[in-house]
Amino acid sequence: MSQSQHFEGGTQSPEPADSFGVIEVNDLVIDFPIDAALLNRRYLRAVNHVSFKLVAGQALAIVGESGSGKSTCARALTRLYKPASGSLRLDGSDINDPTQGLSRIELARQIQMIFQDPFSSLNPIHTVGHHLHRPFKLHRPELAEGEFTDKIHETLARVGLSPPELIVNKYPHELSGGQRQRLAIARAISTGARFILADEPISMLDVSIRLGILNLMADMKSDGIGFLYITHDIATARYFAEETAVMYVGHMVEWGDSDSVTQNPRHPYTQLLIDAVPEVGRARTKKSVSRSKSQIPLWTADSKGCPFADRCPLVEDRCRTEMPSLTQVANNHFARCFALDDSEKIDTKQVK
C-alpha cells in the first residue's frame, strides 16, 4: 500500500491483510460543550475531520500550538474522549464499538500513553518497582509471579535506568526528571504495548537530557513500537518522526514526509511556524513573519472556511467561506490551501 494513500479522508473498509499493526483514524470529529445550556448547547469543535494512520515501527508527529487539538487526537485513541463522528481502528477493529471485540483492558494493553509531566504522572507513594509490577500483573497473564522481578529489572535496564536492583526500590521523588520519564516509558512498554502515544514527552525536561529520551524512543521504534509523537517543537518532530502532520485549530493543514514538510513547507501556517523557530547560527532578517497578530478563532460545527484565513498573508475571499480541498504537493506530502497551484491538485472525491 502506498504511503501517500493513508492520510486520505477516504472511507474504504480496511483490508484484513494490511490492517494488522496499524492504527487508523478516519474523519475524526470531537466536540466539547462550551456552555451548560439544556437546549441549543454550544459546542467547540476541537478536532475537525482528521484522518491519519500509525504504523508499527514508525512515528507520526503531530505539531501545533496550544489548543490546536493535537492532544485531543491522542486521548481519543485511548477512549478518554468519545468522538462526535469518525472512526478509530486498531488492527481493523473499531475501538469504540464493543461488538468488535476490543475490551478496555485489551485496548490498554496495545496502546499506552506517556504524558508531558513526569512529576505528576507517577504515584508519589509507590516505588519504581510497584509502577512496573502492576502492568506486568494486569497485562501479562503468561508470566508467573516469580518471573516479575527479572522482567522488571530487564525493563529498567532497557530504558537505561541502572543499576536496576537499586532503582527498583526508589520513590519517584528520588529520581531526576529524565529518570522519571524513563520510568514512564518503562511502564508503557511493560504492558507489551505496540503503540505509544507520547504527549509532549520531553518539553518539561532539562534541555541536556531531552535528546536521551528522544533517542530512547527511537530505539523502541526500531524494536517495532509505533509512536504518535505530539509536540510543539517542529525541529524534534523532524528529528524523531518519519511523518509530520501540522494542526491548526483542530484541522490538519499539512502533512506528509517529515523532511518534505519541514524543508519545503507549503501551507502558510507551516511556513509561519518554521520561520518562527529560533536556530543557532541562522541570521534573522529584520522583516519578520508574524505581523499577522490576530486571535486564534473559536471553531464550532457551523464555522466555515479555512481556520487560518484571519491570519493568512495570502487570504482570498473564498478562504472565508469554504475549506480548501486537498493538494498533493509531493510524493507523500499534502496540504490544504487555495494558494497552491491548481495543477497540483488531486481530486479527493475520486479517492472516496
Partner 1 sequence: MSGVLLQIKNLCVDYVTDAGTARAVNDVSFNIAAGETIGLAGESGCGKSTLAFAITNLHSAPALISEGSILFEGRDVLCMPDDELRRFRWAEASMVFQSAMNALNPVITIGEQLIDVILAHNAVSYEEAYGRAESSLELVGIHPSRMQSYAHQLSGGMRQRVVIAIALILRPKLIVMDEPTTALDVVVEREIMDQLYELKAELGFAILFISHDLGLMGEITDRIGVMYAGNLVEMGTTSGLLASPQHPYTQGLLASFPTIHGPKTRLEGIPGNPLNLLEIPEGCYFQDRCNKKTDECLLRQPELIPLQKQPSHQVACVEVTGL
In the complex, the residues that contact partner 1 under the rule CB under 8 A are 65-66, 176-179, 206-212, 214-215, 218, 232-236, 238-239, 259, 262-263, 272-282, 284, 288-290, 293, 295
Q: What sign does the CA torsion over 161, 167, 173, 176 have? A: negative
- Largest interatomic CA distance in the chain: 69
Q: In whole angstroms, how close is the CB of 278 to partner 1 at the nearest point?
A: 4
* Closest CB 66 distance from partner 1, rounded Å: 6
Nearer Cβ to partner 1 (155/179): 179
| Residue closer to partner 1 (CB basis): 48 or 236 | 236
| Choice between 124 and 281, CB closer to partner 1 | 281
In angstroms, what is the minimal distance from the CB of 236 to partner 1? 5
* Minimal distance, residue 176 CB to partner 1, in Å: 4
Please state whether beta strands 85-90 and 93-94 pair in parallel, antiparallel, or not at all (unpaired): antiparallel
C-beta closer to partner 1: residue 218 or 339: 218
Cis peptide before 163 (omega within 30 of 0): yes
CA distance 127 to 168: 7
Of the pair 293, 349, the CB lying nearest partner 1 is at 293
Distance CA 254, CA 155 (A): 37
Q: What gap in Å lies between CA 23 and CA 197, rounded to an integer? A: 11
Least Å distance, CB 201 to partner 1, is 14
Query: Between 312 and 326, whose beta carbon lies closer to partner 1?
Result: 312
The C-alpha atoms of residue 120 and residue 222 are separated, in whole angstroms, by 28
The secondary structure of residue 109, as a DSSP letter, is: H
Strand order in 333-336's β-sheet?
A: 111-114, 195-199, 226-231, 59-63, 243-248, 251-257, 333-336, 326-330
Kindly state the smallest distance separating residue 304's Cβ from partner 1, in Å. 24
Smallest separation (angstroms) from partner 1 to the CB of 300? 19
Closer of 21 and 177 to partner 1 (Cβ): 177
Which residues are CB-neighbours of 141 under 8 A, at least 6 positions away?
Answer: none
Question: Pairing between strand 93-94 and 333-336?
Answer: unpaired
Cα–chain center distance at 199:
7
